[in-house]
Protein backbone atom coordinates (compact mmCIF):
# COMPACT_ATOMS: atom_id res chain seq x y z
CA UNK A 1 0.00 0.00 0.00
CA UNK A 2 1.07 3.56 -0.65
CA UNK A 3 -0.38 7.01 -0.16
CA UNK A 4 -1.14 9.19 -3.19
CA UNK A 5 -2.26 12.79 -3.42
CA UNK A 6 -4.59 13.18 -6.37
CA UNK A 7 -6.22 16.27 -7.81
CA UNK A 8 -9.70 15.26 -8.93
CA UNK A 9 -12.01 17.87 -10.40
CA UNK A 10 -9.92 20.57 -8.81
CA UNK A 11 -9.95 19.06 -5.33
CA UNK A 12 -7.04 17.43 -3.54
CA UNK A 13 -7.75 13.86 -2.49
CA UNK A 14 -5.59 11.44 -0.55
CA UNK A 15 -5.84 7.72 -1.02
CA UNK A 16 -3.96 4.81 0.48
CA UNK A 17 -4.03 1.99 -2.06
CA UNK A 18 -1.89 -0.65 -3.73
CA UNK A 19 0.28 1.11 -6.36
CA UNK A 20 -0.95 -1.25 -9.07
CA UNK A 21 -4.61 -0.31 -8.56
CA UNK A 22 -6.11 1.11 -11.75
CA UNK A 23 -7.21 4.72 -11.45
CA UNK A 24 -10.78 3.61 -12.27
CA UNK A 25 -11.04 1.62 -9.06
CA UNK A 26 -9.46 4.36 -6.97
CA UNK A 27 -12.15 6.72 -8.26
CA UNK A 28 -15.02 4.31 -7.80
CA UNK A 29 -14.05 2.38 -4.67
CA UNK A 30 -11.92 4.77 -2.66
CA UNK A 31 -13.31 8.15 -3.68
CA UNK A 32 -16.87 6.88 -4.26
CA UNK A 33 -17.09 8.67 -7.59
CA UNK A 34 -19.11 6.13 -9.50
CA UNK A 35 -19.89 8.23 -12.55
CA UNK A 36 -16.90 6.68 -14.30
CA UNK A 37 -17.91 3.21 -15.41
CA UNK A 38 -16.21 -0.15 -15.63
CA UNK A 39 -16.87 -1.72 -19.03
CA UNK A 40 -14.19 -4.10 -20.25
CA UNK A 41 -11.18 -3.48 -18.02
CA UNK A 42 -8.78 -3.65 -20.99
CA UNK A 43 -9.25 -0.20 -22.53
CA UNK A 44 -11.31 -1.62 -25.38
CA UNK A 45 -14.67 0.07 -24.76
CA UNK A 46 -14.03 3.59 -23.45
CA UNK A 47 -16.61 3.50 -20.63
CA UNK A 48 -13.92 4.41 -18.08
CA UNK A 49 -12.63 7.49 -19.92
CA UNK A 50 -11.51 10.41 -17.77
CA UNK A 51 -9.24 13.36 -18.54
CA UNK A 52 -5.70 13.12 -17.22
CA UNK A 53 -3.95 16.43 -17.68
CA UNK A 54 -6.50 17.15 -20.42
CA UNK A 55 -5.92 13.87 -22.26
CA UNK A 56 -8.84 11.49 -22.66
CA UNK A 57 -7.50 8.53 -20.73
CA UNK A 58 -8.70 4.98 -20.15
CA UNK A 59 -8.67 4.87 -16.38
CA UNK A 60 -9.07 1.08 -16.24
CA UNK A 61 -5.51 0.47 -17.46
CA UNK A 62 -3.61 3.29 -15.76
CA UNK A 63 -2.18 2.24 -12.39
CA UNK A 64 -2.58 4.97 -9.80
CA UNK A 65 1.20 4.92 -9.32
CA UNK A 66 1.63 6.40 -12.81
CA UNK A 67 -0.81 9.29 -12.37
CA UNK A 68 1.69 11.55 -10.61
CA UNK A 69 0.58 15.14 -10.16
CA UNK A 70 -1.47 15.30 -13.33
CA UNK A 71 -4.95 16.71 -12.70
CA UNK A 72 -7.89 14.35 -13.19
CA UNK A 73 -11.29 15.40 -14.49
CA UNK A 74 -14.18 12.95 -14.32
CA UNK A 75 -17.74 13.08 -15.55
CA UNK A 76 -18.70 14.57 -12.17
CA UNK A 77 -16.52 17.60 -12.85
CA UNK A 78 -16.59 18.05 -16.60
CA UNK A 79 -19.47 20.56 -16.47
CA UNK A 80 -17.10 22.98 -14.71
CA UNK A 81 -15.42 23.35 -18.08
CA UNK A 82 -17.21 25.52 -20.69
CA UNK A 83 -16.86 22.92 -23.43
CA UNK A 84 -17.88 20.17 -21.04
CA UNK A 85 -21.01 22.06 -20.08
CA UNK A 86 -21.96 22.64 -23.72
CA UNK A 87 -21.48 18.96 -24.49
CA UNK A 88 -23.57 17.80 -21.55
CA UNK A 89 -26.35 20.21 -22.55
CA UNK A 90 -26.21 18.89 -26.11
CA UNK A 91 -26.53 15.35 -24.80
CA UNK A 92 -29.71 16.35 -22.97
CA UNK A 93 -31.07 18.33 -25.89
CA UNK A 94 -30.57 15.45 -28.32
CA UNK A 95 -31.75 12.89 -25.77
CA UNK A 96 -28.72 10.77 -26.59
CA UNK A 97 -28.88 8.36 -23.72
CA UNK A 98 -30.62 5.00 -23.87
CA UNK A 99 -29.35 2.74 -21.06
CA UNK A 100 -26.67 5.31 -20.30
CA UNK A 101 -23.92 3.00 -19.11
CA UNK A 102 -21.31 4.10 -21.68
CA UNK A 103 -22.32 7.75 -21.80
CA UNK A 104 -19.86 9.06 -19.20
CA UNK A 105 -17.03 7.83 -21.38
CA UNK A 106 -18.72 9.05 -24.54
CA UNK A 107 -19.02 12.56 -23.15
CA UNK A 108 -15.44 12.63 -21.88
CA UNK A 109 -14.14 11.59 -25.31
CA UNK A 110 -16.44 14.06 -27.07
CA UNK A 111 -15.15 16.89 -24.89
CA UNK A 112 -11.56 15.94 -25.70
CA UNK A 113 -12.42 15.91 -29.40
CA UNK A 114 -14.11 19.30 -29.35
CA UNK A 115 -11.34 20.92 -27.34
CA UNK A 116 -8.82 19.83 -29.97
CA UNK A 117 -11.11 20.13 -32.99
CA UNK A 118 -13.96 22.58 -32.36
CA UNK A 119 -15.49 22.03 -35.79
CA UNK A 120 -15.07 18.30 -36.40
CA UNK A 121 -16.00 16.58 -39.62
CA UNK A 122 -17.91 13.30 -39.67
CA UNK A 123 -14.56 11.58 -40.17
CA UNK A 124 -13.07 13.36 -37.16
CA UNK A 125 -16.01 12.21 -35.06
CA UNK A 126 -15.84 8.64 -36.29
CA UNK A 127 -12.11 8.43 -35.64
CA UNK A 128 -12.11 10.10 -32.26
CA UNK A 129 -15.18 8.31 -30.95
CA UNK A 130 -14.34 4.99 -32.56
CA UNK A 131 -12.94 3.59 -29.33
CA UNK A 132 -16.09 4.28 -27.35
CA UNK A 133 -18.60 1.47 -27.71
CA UNK A 134 -22.35 1.74 -27.15
CA UNK A 135 -24.31 -1.50 -27.02
CA UNK A 136 -27.54 0.47 -27.41
CA UNK A 137 -26.08 1.86 -30.63
CA UNK A 138 -26.75 5.50 -29.88
CA UNK A 139 -24.00 6.46 -32.30
CA UNK A 140 -26.23 8.55 -34.56
CA UNK A 141 -27.47 10.66 -31.69
CA UNK A 142 -23.93 10.96 -30.30
CA UNK A 143 -22.83 12.40 -33.61
CA UNK A 144 -25.77 14.80 -33.67
CA UNK A 145 -25.00 15.95 -30.16
CA UNK A 146 -21.34 16.55 -30.97
CA UNK A 147 -22.33 18.63 -34.00
CA UNK A 148 -24.89 20.47 -31.90
CA UNK A 149 -22.26 21.23 -29.27
CA UNK A 150 -19.78 22.25 -31.95
CA UNK A 151 -22.14 24.96 -33.15
CA UNK A 152 -22.43 26.41 -29.65
CA UNK A 153 -18.76 26.44 -28.71
CA UNK A 154 -17.37 29.95 -28.85
Partner 1 sequence: MFVDRRVLLKAFLFILAVVAAGMGLTAHGPGEAGASRPPVADGLAAWADVYSVLISPRCINCHTATRYPQQGDDRHRHFANVIRGRGGRGVPGLVCLSCHQDQNADSTGVPGGPGWHLAPLSMKWQDTNDRPLSSADVCRAVTDRSKNENMDGRALLKHHEEAELVLWAWNPGRRPDGTMRTIPPLTHAQFVAATRTWVEAGTPCPTAK
- b/e per residue 83-117 (b: at least 16 CB within 10 A): bbebbbebbeebebbeeebbbbbbbbbbbbbbbee
Quick one: which of 132, 138, 148, 150 contacts partner 1 (CB under 8 A)?
132
Nearer to partner 1, 7 or 117 (CB): 117
Quick one: which of 10, 82, 100, 130 contacts partner 1 (CB under 8 A)?
130
Residue 25's nearest CA partner among 6, 41, 10, 45 is 41
Using CB under 8 A as the binding rule, whether residue 137 contacts partner 1 is answered as: no
- Give me the 56-95 binding string for partner 1, x by CB under 8 A, dash otherwise: xxx-xxxx--x-----------------------------
**Residues 67, 59 contacting (CB under 8 angstroms):** no
Quick one: which of 4, 6, 17, 22 contacts partner 1 (CB under 8 A)?
22
Task: Please return the burial class of 3, using the count of CB atoms within 10 Å of its CB with bins 0-12, 13-18 and 19+.
Answer: exposed
Q: How many CB atoms lie within 10 A of CB 4?
A: 19
Quick one: which of 10, 14, 44, 92 contacts partner 1 (CB under 8 A)?
44
Using CB under 8 A as the binding rule, whether residue 143 contacts partner 1 is answered as: no
Smallest gap from residue 102 Cβ to partner 1 (A):
13
Quick one: DSSP state of residue 57? E
Residues in a beta bridge with 72? 8, 52
Applying CB under 8 A, the residues found at the interface with partner 1 are 20-22, 42-46, 49, 55-58, 60-63, 66, 109-110, 112-113, 115-117, 124, 127-132
Amino acid sequence: MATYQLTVNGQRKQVNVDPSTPLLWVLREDLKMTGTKYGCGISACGACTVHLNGVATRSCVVPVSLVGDRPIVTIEGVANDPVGRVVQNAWVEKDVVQCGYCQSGQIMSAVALLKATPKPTDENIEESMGGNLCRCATYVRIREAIKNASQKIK
